[in-house]
Amino acid sequence: MDLLFLEPVFKQMIWGGNKLKSFGYDIPGENTGECWAISAHPNGDCIVKNGEYKGISLSTLWNEHKELFGNVSGDRFPLLIKIIDAADDLSIQVHPDDTYASINENGSLGKTECWYIVDCDENATIVIGHNAKNSDEVADMINNGKWSEFIREIPIKKGDFFQINPGCLHAIKGGTVILETQQNSDITYRVYDYDRLQNGKKRELHVKQSIEVIKAPFKEDNECKPVISDLGSCIITHFITCKYYSVEKLEINGPICFDMEDPFMNVSIIEGEGSINNIPLKKGDHFIIPANYGEYTLDGNMELIRSYI
């Protein structure tokens, strides 16, 4: 049985940079903001690079070979893994939940996402949450552009992890590279874009939808308590298990054997190199371990993020 190595899809963004080159990618330009690394979304459907299913998209595999994914139910591959290079600030934004999205966005899924900080500048920050006491104050602060009062900005460092639930105001700020694990959805409501211009025009805002979905007051998330297990040749940091996914970091320093027990496992190598069952791996590789793959041995000196449902 083959692992499913995927060809990433790159997106140019006004806030993007060129740091994705450090993952070994031949990026399309100096404003490359996103690498859609494991994705079956129509806006960026990854193609399998190797083996029996070489040349086939992940969405096609999901539709025609459910056995690779443990025959789990669902009309689309549930997750989307991205690496984001924010040279400049992303817009202040919020995502809807499944209920709001299915009613207002043609049956789309909502978007719960989480961020692992792969790298960031000294003194880097992100936006998570806001300072409004209730929904009326949210509307007032947005409608009257009271951004410095409204926005809650916090310091970050390499290795931090954040869960962003629907309704949570957020923004990645410049100087940050993150690995994002999210629901397979592309619905973003832009609240504020710093009055920036793209091709001479401001990007569209979604003020009405934002005010409807932003939860107030903001409550800090406490689902997210990293648990570290030291297995000798591997340190596992389990970041979260929520309704949609579990996410972990593995720091590999020598051989370690696992048994595949999940419907499928997404793996992204974010540092170093090594192997899986003697197949070489390096920073920037992304693959899915299919159901019933059995035992696999990871070896080498590398860090990876894995996710499963």
Active site residues: 190
* CB contact burial 127-141 (16+ within 10 A = b; e otherwise): bbbbbbeeeebbbeb
d(Cα 12, Cα 29) in Å, to the nearest integer? 7
The β-bridge relationship of strands 279-282 and 151-155 is unpaired
Nearest CA among 214, 211, 222 for reference residue 167: 214
Q: Where are the beta strands (DSSP E) in 71-159?
A: 79-86, 92-94, 113-120, 125-130, 151-155
Q: Where are the beta strands (DSSP E) in 107-254?
A: 113-120, 125-130, 151-155, 161-164, 170-172, 176-183, 189-192, 227-230, 234-241, 246-253
Q: What is the DSSP letter of 185?
A: -
Cis peptide before 42 (omega within 30 of 0): no
Q: Please count the CA atoms within 13 angstroms of the CA of 175 that sit on its side-chain side.
A: 11
The β-bridge relationship of strands 161-164 and 44-45 is unpaired
The answer to whether 121 and 185 have CB atoms below 8 angstroms apart is no
The answer to whether 207 and 87 have CB atoms below 8 angstroms apart is no
The answer to whether 207 and 139 have CB atoms below 8 angstroms apart is no
Q: Where are the beta strands (DSSP E) in 32-145?
A: 32-38, 40-41, 44-45, 47-48, 79-86, 92-94, 113-120, 125-130
